[in-house]
């Protein structure tokens, strides 16, 4: 880290285009801004595991980054691989009208699953395919239960 002047409360760092960067006030470096990166790939979830009641609705929060000079071709959620490629849940029989992609073509990739069934318990992953590459997030594990005491036990 390079300080431009002794009296400055700002730091200035030098980075190549491939690096991510953030800023902070001198003396409070642990409270830095979110990282920014022009060429980074990432998928980030708010929770790695979710427990919900049968019949309820769950929203899986998600955000992604990709190189800004790429064009998005596909953005979808999956929970199974079919052959060499992930299978878009919205085209899987039994999921039509049961899942809704709430995301956009910018950075939001939230998923809503309604009227949860016990069979919805699985690992769900977001997949982004662009003109220059692709990325998939690690799974978010959803556990659907019909027993409220099971959820209470998990929250303790």
pLDDT in tens, 57-101: 999 999 999 998 999 999 999 998 776 789 999 999 999 889 999
pLDDT of 1 above 60? no
Beta bridge partners of 2: 12
Residues 6+ apart with CB under 8 A from 104: none
Alpha-carbon distance of 124 to 78, in angstroms, equals: 6
Taking residue 36's Cβ as centre, other Cβ atoms within 10 Å add up to 12
d(CA 70, CA 84): 23
Q: Is the pLDDT of residue 115 over 50?
A: yes
Q: Which has the closest alpha carbon to 110: 76, 145, 71, 65?
A: 76
Which of 80-84, 108-112, 119-123 has the least mean pLDDT?
A: 80-84
Predicted pLDDT at 81: 78
The SS3 assignment for 74 reads: strand
Pairing of strands 111-113, 133-136: unpaired
- Calculate mean pLDDT across residues 106-121: 96
pTM for this structure?
0.72
Within 10 angstroms of residue 113's Cβ, the number of other Cβ atoms is 23
Domains, in order of start, for the chain: 1-39 (no CATH), 42-155 (2.60.40.10)
Report percent pLDDT > 90 for the chain: 57
């Amino acid at each position: 880290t390079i300080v431009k002047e002794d009296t400055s409360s700002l730091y200035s760092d030098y980075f190549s285009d491939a690096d991510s960067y953030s800023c902070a006030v001198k003396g409070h470096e642990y409270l830095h801004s979110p990282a920014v990166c022009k060429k980074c790939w990432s998928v980030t979830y708010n929770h790695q595991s979710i427990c919900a009641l049968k019949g309820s609705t769950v929203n899986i929060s998600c955000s992604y980054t990709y190189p800004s000079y790429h064009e998005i071709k596909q953005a979808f959620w999956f929970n199974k691989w079919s052959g060499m490629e992930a299978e878009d849940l919205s085209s899987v029989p039994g999921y039509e009208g049961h899942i809704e992609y709430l995301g956009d073509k910018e950075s939001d990739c939230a998923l809503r699953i309604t009227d949860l069934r016990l069979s919805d318990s699985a690992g769900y992953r977001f997949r982004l395919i662009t003109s220059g590459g692709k990325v998939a997030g690690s799974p978010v594990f959803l556990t659907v239960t019909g027993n409220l005491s099971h959820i209470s036990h998990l929250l303790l």
